[in-house]
Amino acid sequence: TTRTLAMGVNLPAHLVVIKSTMQYIAGSCEEYGEADILQMIGRAGRPQFDSSATAVIMTKVQTRDKYTNLMNGMEIIESSLHGHLVEHLNAEIVLQTISDVNMALDWIRSTYLYIRALKNPTHYGFSADLDRCGIEAKLQELCLKNLNALSAIDLIRMDEDINIKPTEAGRLMARFCIAFDTMEQFSKVVGTESLFDLVSLVSKSREFSDIQLRVNEKRALNTLNRDKNRRTIRFPLEGKIKTSEMKVNCLIQAQMSSISIQDFGLTQDTAKIFRIGMRISKCLSEFLSHRSEAVFPALLNSLILAKCFRAKIWENSHFVSKQLEKIGEGEAVLLLFLLNECICYS
């Protein structure tokens, strides 16, 4: 089985064989995540088809115990809060659960991260020799680092009395569930960005970090980008498609240009990109609308982009009827043809 097949198709099977637990990502081989493995073996034995099923995991000797424990439910669950602490701190500040630095430190002591860090400090990058006080000091340092990062791009405000207040940008980040890295990109907007610049900006969002560029997709993506014999995307990218960011950009433009995407994996990725992209583009437009300095060109283009994400077509597209339910590309072309005929006769 492959990750795409396991995640994208409701395909029942009696036997699932995972021939390797490694995947090729960005030039190196990495282990599949535990959630991916569980998704794959979960395809075996659908209730309406089977009363039992078999899953076979083929892995290295070094990782055999890991997957044995995973299958037996003995794998210890670790916290992943440390990887997203900045977003959670911002959300708690917006909710007013945290209103000063001391409350932030108390809050982190109430998390599962704190409990697991005391039990297994090396998993979180702390020295195994640290005692309870040492681990608490490290967590406090991590907490303060993230608070300072939020303050640096005006997502929160901290005064001399260590009081913390959310800003409008921080509220937007929490409301739209936007990653800190994405908000950091938004803060770099100068105000003169074109529509293409904003599409490129959205394509860099951290929310798309799990969209991978597969080798077998490059030909189809390059055809969407540049092809003398076919309709291509509105803003062609320079050179070949060779990064995940370029893939996201190309798929956004292909969908908005009403270009048919034949590859199943790309179709699945496009649907995911637009689900996420709608809230990112909406957040971007509201973020720019609250900027005090003059950013009108970028604001106008961000509003257009948000509208395009919602409608899944460009603002100047002839296929506006595709926004109607059950109207596909074929029907949209026919309606456009009939409209032109009516105009000619009139």
Residue-wise pLDDT for 191-236, tens only, equals 999 999 999 999 999 999 989 898 889 999 999 999 888 889 999 9
CB atoms under 10 Å from CB of 97, counted, come to 12
pLDDT digits (tens, 9 = 90+) for 243-271: 999 999 999 999 999 888 888 889 999 99
Residue whose entry in the numeric block shows the structure tokens 């800190």: 180
Top-ranked range on mean pLDDT: pick from 2-16, 124-138, 170-184, 203-217: 170-184
Residues 6+ apart with CB under 8 A from 167: 154, 155, 156, 157
Confidence at residue 159, expressed as pLDDT on a 0 to 100 scale: 87
Q: 337 pLDDT exceeds 70? A: no
pLDDT digits (tens, 9 = 90+) for 296-314: 999 999 999 999 999 898 9
> Angle at the Cα of 170 (from 168 to 171), degrees rounded to 5?
65
Confidence at residue 6, expressed as pLDDT on a 0 to 100 scale: 61
Residues 6+ apart with CB under 8 A from 53: 13, 14, 15, 16, 44, 45
Lowest average pLDDT, out of 6-20, 39-53, 156-170, 200-214, goes to 6-20
Higher-pLDDT residue of 138, 71: 138
Residues 6+ apart with CB under 8 A from 86: 146, 149, 150, 180
Confidence at residue 260, expressed as pLDDT on a 0 to 100 scale: 86
pLDDT digits (tens, 9 = 90+) for 24-62: 776 678 888 888 888 888 888 877 777 888 989 999 999
CB atoms under 10 Å from CB of 300, counted, come to 13
Confidence at residue 341, expressed as pLDDT on a 0 to 100 scale: 65
pTM of the model: 0.79
Name the 3-class secondary structure at 228. coil
C-alpha span between 272 and 310 (Å, rounded): 13
Q: 335 pLDDT exceeds 90? A: no
pLDDT digits (tens, 9 = 90+) for 61-113: 998 888 888 888 777 888 999 999 999 999 999 999 999 999 999 999 999 99
- Contact between 206 and 248 under an 8 Å Cβ cutoff? The reply is no
